[in-house]
Each structure stands twice: as C-alpha cells, then as structure tokens.
Amino acid sequence: MDHDAPHYLHQLPVPGEERYVSLALVNTRFTLSHGTVDLLDDAEAAHLWLVRHELLRDRVALNGRQFGRLLGLRESLRPLFEACAARAVPPGESLDTLNSALAAAPSTPRLAWTSDGPHRADEPDTGNPTAAALSLLAEDATELLTGSEADQLTECAAQGCARWFLRSHAARRWCTTKCGNRVRAARAYAARKER
C-alpha cells in the first residue's frame, strides 16, 4: 500500500468492481466529507486509471479528445445504470454514447485455445488502442446491463455516496460497510438528539 497516496485512493472497492471494470469507471467520481473526488480529473490521471485496469499500455498516450470520450462514456453509464435499476428507458444520448464507443473498435471473432479447450474470443481492433479501451469498457457495461447480474445493480443508499455496486443479497443497501456504519451512526445520533 502506498502510504503517501491521498487517502481517497485507498477507497475499498465495491462489490462487482472486480468483475466489471465499467462499474469501477462509474465509481471514479465519488463524494467524501471534504467534497467530490474525481480519479479522472485530467488526461494523465485517466491514462493511469486505464493502465492500472489493463485497458491501455503504459506507452500509449491519451490525448484530450480521447480523454473527453472516456469522460463522456463514464457520464453516459450512470443514466444507463439508473434506468436499469428503475426498469425504465434510458436517455437516448446515453445509449448513443455507449453504442458509439462499442462501434469505435469493432471486435473481431477469434478462436482461442486454452487449457480449458477451445472458446470464442472477440478481440477489439487494436489499430487505435484508446478506441479499443473505450470499446472494451462499453462491451463490459453492455454485458453488465444485459447479463444475469443486472437486477443486482444498485446505487449506494448512504447519503452523499453515489457509488454503484452489485448487491450480494436483496437487503443490502450500501456499497461498503463504511457507508453502512456511517448511516447507522447518523441514525443513532439523530435518535439520541431527539430524546
């Protein structure tokens, strides 16, 4: 653990981020007691995030236009997640942004052979590595939104927390125990104050 890094970089991952990098992308902007934190606040930070999530090689630069597309994809995912959770129709522009990212680096089907045997592997066009990274993020979000875990997608119910996670059971309402403890402590304080 890097003890010199700002404390918000030590945020606990929420359930689902380990399986869906698109969920981690949406959660790159969150609120702490001192204000909003954006892990993609500039092109350099966004490049580092993409490298850490193995979506982009370190030597591939991220220009301003590509950075803008990454932010646009992140901003389009939140309304898509909200629509999925509410079983509603999402805004057309959010859907268009996701579909545009999917089309930016169309996948080519390949036959891959591992120790488990043959399986289909769809690999995005790597001619434009950044477009391929955005396409992988969009594909990941599409898989999340259309897969069997879509009904588990929910926004943290703790006031001030806007992170999304996959519920492990229907009663779960908070992304981490930290958020749950904060809500319970606030309730206990309000009850004591009322007495």
Identify the pLDDT of residue 8. Answer: 47
Domain that holds residue 85: 14-152
For residue 4, tell me if it sits in a domain: no
Q: What pLDDT digit, counting tens, does each position of 164-180 carry?
A: 999 988 878 888 878 87
User: Does some domain include residue 171?
Assistant: no
Domain membership of residue 42 (yes or no) is yes
Domain tally, the chain:
1
Query: What pLDDT, in 10s, does the model give residues 80-103?
Result: 999 999 999 999 999 999 999 999
The pTM score is: 0.82
Q: What is the CATH number of the domain that holds 117?
A: 1.10.3300.10
Asked whether residue 67 is assigned to any structural domain, the reply reads yes
**pLDDT, position 41:** 94
d(CA 172, CA 157): 9
Task: Tell me if 165 is assigned to some domain.
Answer: no
Within a domain: 30: yes
